[in-house]
Amino acid sequence: MSRIISGAAGGVRLASVPGDNTRPTTDRVKESLFSKLESYDIIRGARVLDAFGGSGALGCEALSRGAASVTLLDTYPKAVAVIRKNVAAVEKAMGRTGSSGATGSAARVQQSQALTYVKSASGPWDLVFVDPPYAMPNEQVSELLEALTPKLAEGAVVVVERSSRDAEPVWGEGLYCFSTRQHGETVLYYVEPDEVEEQAGNESSDEPGNESGEDAEELAA
């Protein structure tokens, strides 16, 4: 069973989706991911999209850490039910009474395909988690990213989780992968809109668009 690592709902245990239709991000990978995002100061106040919710662990962690709004998607009915349960537990721990989707709730849970939702939604999003099943072809991941690109806010970060056995996705026009981290069989790609990289110029700081080549190749055991 996963848990909320930090923030207002830190320590809350999250329900898992029954069966093998989802592939949850481990707490170890999640802790590394959010530590990196915290270093960019991008979570608090962010408009977040969790495009492949699963149990909702990533979206719920962002909610606990101060995201302004979180939209969580999944196509699997049992996953959607678990996401709603986990969001309710997190919001209760945070002292909120609204259920997901209710007035006053910062979270919205929807049963929808990611691509369908992104094409119809207006955005913009500051932080997006793209954690599809490893069986999803890279071509479909790239198609989703293409639809997502014009709906990203300035300074946005997209985190794409894939298997280390697969080739790196094609980012396409408008996106730039500024960091890559490997955790066993899991690879996290940190991606941003191209214009952020251009604005950064030659400045050297540990912010999106300014990471060193060494950091981009860091491997975690």
Domains belonging to the chain, first-starting first, are: 27-220 (3.40.50.150)
Count CA atoms within 13 Å of residue 172 on its CB side: 14
pTM for this entry:
0.85
Q: What are the tens digits of pLDDT across the range 69-83?
A: 999 999 999 999 999
- Per-residue confidence (pLDDT) for residue 84, from 0 to 100: 97
Q: What are the tens digits of pLDDT across the range 46-59?
A: 999 999 999 999 99
Strand ranges for the chain from DSSP E: 47-50, 69-74, 107-111, 125-130, 152-163, 175-183, 186-193, 219-220
> Which amino acid is present at 93?
A
- What is the pLDDT of the chain when averaged over all its residues? 87
If you ran DSSP here, which 8-state letter would residue 218 be given? -
- Per-residue confidence (pLDDT) for residue 103, from 0 to 100: 42
